[in-house]
Amino acid sequence: MHRVSLHYSLSPEGGPALLKNPLFDLLQAVHETGSINGAAKALDLSYRHVWGELKRWESSLERTLVTWEKGRPAQLTEFGAKLMWAERQAQARLLPQITALRADLDRVFAVAFDESAHILTFFASHDAALSALSDHARDQRLHLDIRFTGSVDAIRALNEGRCTMAGFHARHDPAVGSLAQKVYKPLLRPGLHKLIGFTRRTQGLIVAAGNPLRLQSLGDLALKRARLSNRARGTGTRVLLEDLLTEQGIRSHDLLGYENEEPSHAAVAEAVASGTADAGIGIEASARARGLDFVPLVEEHYYLACLKSSLEQPATQSLLTLLASDAWQQKLRTLPGYSPDASGEILSMSKVLPWWRFRERKHATAESA
C-alpha cells in the first residue's frame, strides 16, 4: 500500500496552489510528446534523468508505466494512463481545499514577517480571477485568505461573521421570479451590505478540443445525449444553469449526467479532458488551461459583497485601491473570458441587482390606479 506524504516550500516568488509530485509531470510529458526524449525536452531535463526516474518509479510501484518499441512512439500503459488521470482529477477536485490550505499558511507567515500586513478573509465562488488577484495582492502587502465555496455559502458566511468579503456571481438584471432572485435576495440587504465591482466573465460549455460533438447550446446537450459534468447545488454556476434551463424549456432529467457534480470549474474541465464527460458548465479560463474548447453561453458579473461597516477598514481600502489600479486591470484582461467591470467601485445594490424594486413598482401601480 503506497501512502501520500505532504510538504511545502517557502519562496519570495510564491507559485500555484498545487500539491505536486514530479512523476505525474513525467507521465503527462510522455503522453503529450510520445517519446522519452520529447518528454525530457519539454521538462528541460536530461534524457538520462527522465529514463532513470521512470524506471525508479516502476520499481517502486511494481508496475510498468511506459511502453515503447524501436521506431514506434512511447505511450503510457493502461495503468500509467489511469494513474495520471486519477491524479489530475484529484488535483482539480481538491483545488478549493488546497487553495484554502495555502491561504492559511500564507496568513501565518505574512504576520510573522510583517505584522502590519493587511489580511482580508474571503468566502467566494470558485474563480480564476480571484486566484490571480490573491497572487497579485501579495506584492502590495495585502493577503487574501480565500475559502472557495458556493456563492450561497459564501454570502451566508459573510452574514454569520465568518469572513469580511463574499464573492458571488449573477447575470445583470435577472428575470423576475428567477432562481437567482429567490436564492440571493433573502441573503442580501440594501443598507446592510455593499457590493464591490470585481469583473465580468463568460460562462459556457467546456468541451473537448475541436468540439467533436459540435455542441453549441444546452439544447444540443439534450438532443445529442452528451454526458454532462455539472456543478454542485449551492454554487452560483448551478443556479445559473437551472435558470437557463427554465428559460429554454429544457428539463434537467433530459441532460445525461446532470447529477454528476464537481466542486470547481477546474474539476469540470478535468472531467472533460479525461473523457469521463463530453461537456461541462464552467468558465473559459478553466477550459483553456486544460487545452479544451469553449462555447460561450452567457456573460455575468462577479461581485464582492461586504458589510457596509467594513468599507472603511484599512484592509478593505487597500483592496479597493488595488482593484482600481491599471496594473491589476491589465492583468485581468490577460485571463481568457475576463474583463474589468467597475473594478473597485462601490455599486448600488438596487441598480445592479434590482430585485428590491419589484415591490416598489407594484406599489406605485396600485397607487396610480
Nearest C-alpha neighbor of 69 from the set 19, 98, 25, 34: 34
- % of residues, the chain, pLDDT over 90: 59
Domain range for 75: 17-116
Are residue 123 and residue 111 in the same domain, yes or no? Answer: no
Among 56, 82, 116, residue at a domain's last position? 116
Looking at residue 363, its pLDDT comes to: 43
Looking at residue 320, its pLDDT comes to: 96
Query: Up-side HSE of residue 313: CA atoms within 13 Å toward CB?
Result: 16
Query: Up-side HSE of residue 73: CA atoms within 13 Å toward CB?
Result: 11
Does residue 278 sit within a domain? yes
Looking at residue 97, its pLDDT comes to: 72
Looking at residue 362, its pLDDT comes to: 45
> Which one-letter DSSP state was computed for residue 55?
H
Q: Distance from CA of residue 235 to its chain's centroid? A: 11
pLDDT (tens digit, 9 = 90+) per residue, 126-137?
Answer: 899 998 998 888
Are residue 292 and residue 369 in the same domain, yes or no? Answer: yes
Among 116, 145, 169, residue at a domain's last position? 116
Does residue 283 sit within a domain? yes
- % of residues, the chain, pLDDT over 70: 87
pLDDT (tens digit, 9 = 90+) per residue, 251-287?
Answer: 999 999 999 999 899 999 999 998 999 999 999 999 9
Among 80, 100, 116, residue at a domain's last position? 116
CA–CA distance, 164 with 194 (Å, rounded to integer): 11
Q: Grid coordinates representing 170?
A: 449573477
Are residue 108 and residue 147 in the same domain, yes or no? Answer: no
Question: pTM of this prediction?
Answer: 0.74
Q: Which of 50-59, 88-97, 344-353 has the lowest mean pLDDT?
A: 88-97
Is the pLDDT at 360 greater than 50, yes or no? no
Does residue 180 sit within a domain? yes
Does residue 12 sit within a domain? no
Structural domain tally of the chain?
Answer: 2
Looking at residue 358, its pLDDT comes to: 46
Q: Is 364 left (phi over 0), alpha (psi -120 to 50) or beta?
A: alpha
pLDDT (tens digit, 9 = 90+) per residue, 294-330?
Answer: 999 999 999 999 999 999 999 999 999 999 999 999 9
CA–CA distance, 349 with 354 (Å, rounded to integer): 7
Annotate 7-17 with b (16+ C-beta within 10 A) or e (fewer).
eeeeeeeeeeb
CA–CA distance, 272 with 210 (Å, rounded to integer): 12
